Structure 1
Amino acid sequence: MLIQPYLFFNGNCRQAFDFYRDALGAEYETLMRYRDSPEPPPPECAPPGWEDKVMHASLRIGSLRLMGSDDGSGQTARPQGFSLSLSVPDADAADRVFAALADGGSVIMPLGETFWSPRFGMLTDRFGVGWMIGVEA
């Protein structure tokens, strides 16, 4: 069994995934726009003008697959009640990734030493997604 995070955005999925690609050194596995669909999407999923919005995207971040899309239903709200937890190999990587993801976002807990990790911090990125960055003890 495998759990993979899938994030929904309100029209800015491409910007978010480009940001994650650059901040985390990720690679696109998939990027499909609504116009790429072999069948027209239902109007409740992709309103007029959403042809170039993301129907499905997938990034490879180390061994993780992060997926997402633009939700044209108008029901997308800021993510809450969870954070994506990212383990990095050392303090330098933690500093680099934390700074990149925090750019334009807000720091909840600055990076620092904790009893469970030599470096740990929490933030919300500019797209409203929560992240916990930690060095594996």
Structure 2
Amino acid sequence: MAQVNAYLTFNGNCEEAFNFYKSVFGGEFPYIGRFGDMPPSEDGKQVPEADKNKIMHVSLPISQETILMGSDTGGEWASKHVAGNNISLSVNTDSKEEADRIFNGLSAGGNVTMPLAETFWGAYFRMWTDKFGIHWMVNYDDPAKMQH
């Protein structure tokens, strides 16, 4: 069974926005990671100094079923940020197979913006825009690879 959550992308003010959302919804952030926490890319590229303190990922549980998630954009992605076009639907699955099935179905006729990746945080992850212009992410958190 998959869980669908809203994923919001900001242009440098994600932390401010999520502190505001937390003041309204209550609760705590179970995770908040910054771009400076990322390891260097495979080609040795480091995160630019201007982006190191920006939010790579934050989550705020709103109810038992719903998590509001977000991040800042940076680098070459920043120029593509458009207010109103900065919301994605994030699908968390119980297996790689389910992640593949959802990706293969919803990406048909669309545009893959981040191909399948085994991430440094232990997830099986993809991003795409479907043929209707809706932004999607699919994520499977492999319990054997999760970092805390």
Q: Deviations over 1:62-86 (max 9, x none)?
A: 221111100112111112598xxxx
Match of 1:16 in 2: 17
> What's the TM-score once normalised by structure 2's chain length?
0.48
Say if 2:86 is the partner of 1:78.
Answer: no
% same residue: 37
CA distance in 2, matches of 1:52, 1:25: 24
Aligned 1:56-135 pairs, distance under 5 A: 56-63=57-64, 64-72=66-74, 73-74=77-78, 75-80=80-85
SS at structure 2 position matched to 1:16: helix
1:26 aligned counterpart, secondary structure: coil
Shift in Å at residue 48 of structure 1?
Answer: 3.5
Q: Which runs of 5+ in 2 are unaligned?
A: 88-148
Superposed displacement of residue 4, structure 1: 1.1
Q: Cα distance, 1:36 vs. partner? A: 1.4
May I ask how many residue pairs the two structures share in their alignment? 81
Residues 60 and 67, structure 2, Cα contact 8 Å, conserved in 1: yes
Structure 1 portions without partners, runs of 5+: 83-137
Q: CA RMSD in A?
A: 2.8
Write the letter of the residue equivalent to 1:24. Answer: F
Q: Does structure 2 conserve the Cα–Cα contact (< 8 Å) formed by 1:34 and 1:51?
A: yes
Mapped to 2, the partners of 1:62 and 1:55 lie a distance apart of: 22
C-alpha contact (below 8 Å) 1:31/1:58 kept by paired residues: yes
TM-score, normalising length: structure 1: 0.51
